[in-house]
Amino acid sequence: MFGNWLKTGILMAGIVALFGTIGAALGGGQGMMIALLIAAGMNLYAYWFSDKMVLRMYNAQEVDASSAPQLFNMVHELAQRAQLPMPKVYLIDEEQPNAFATGRNPEHAAVAATTGILRILSARELRGVMAHELAHVKHRDILISTISATIAGAISSIGNFGMMFGSHRNGEGQGNPLAGLLLMIVAPIAAMLIQFAISRAREFEADRGGAEISGDPEALASALDKIHRYARGIPMPTAEAHPATAQMMIANPLSGGNLRGLFSTHPEVGERIARLMAFARG
């Protein structure tokens, strides 16, 4: 838990430093001050509201025992088994099978599943997936996972910031030509920050924790195999537009290519399945 807090702090400090450096380069002292204020405000907002921002980004709709009884009751039962507060439950209208957890702590957590995953998985497999997401909540992975997703917005903000100061400094309505190249420089830096903050080992730990919560590691292994096979042929436009959110998903939702591949933080599905099956045998 302390390690996640430390990484969260370093991640936030990295965003502030990144904004300040670029602000100084584009707008001098005034630019640096404005950039630092933006970064500080963004970090404050990210801590309190990043979960709501990500859920809104995916147009997630909250459900309850009457609107989605199977999913809601399943999460309720698993939360009791994990000795966790009942999280909010959301559905995302996306064909790609996937799921994620978000929130700043177990008391303010939410789990979300796509309509696609409800269609392709059996009840047993879906139970394994939801247990995996609750393991993320129990391990307190969700704060750093959700905050790091806001880097996608930070990248856009830096690009807009560069265009604004480019226009101001040349006195014309057009932006600084360098601002057009800014995202090409900043995106890999942001991806490196995410790679630092989000360890691939956390997925193995969530798989193990989910298997313990559900008591059925083979169901999660089967679900991962099925999700991997289906997801490769079904794009998720929101994830493609905001690749930094991909690390929140149980399976990588990105098609890869260009800068998107830099944001991949998921271990190989085959290795995850092998570990789950070994856990089941053990």
Catalytic residue numbers read 133
Q: Which of 52, 44, 43 lies closest to 19, judged by CA?
A: 43
What are the phi and psi torsion angles at 255 (to 5°)? -80, -15
Q: Residues in the chain, how many?
A: 282
135's CB contacts (< 8 A; 6+ apart) are: 82, 205, 206, 207, 208, 209, 210, 212, 213
158's CB contacts (< 8 A; 6+ apart) are: 18, 19, 22, 182, 183, 186
Are 97 and 121 a contacting pair, CB within 8 Å?
A: yes
Report the distance separating Cα 100 and Cα 130, nearest Å: 9
Give residue for tokens 């978000």.
102
Alpha helices in the chain (DSSP H): 2-57, 69-81, 115-120, 123-138, 142-149, 151-170, 177-197, 201-214, 217-231, 237-241, 269-281
Residue 252 host element (H or E): none
Lookup: tokens for 85: 């507060």
- Dihedral sign for Cα 233, 223, 109, 38, please: negative
Are 19 and 158 a contacting pair, CB within 8 Å?
A: yes
Residue 3 Cα distances to 29, 71, 74, 131, 270, angstroms: 34, 32, 31, 23, 27
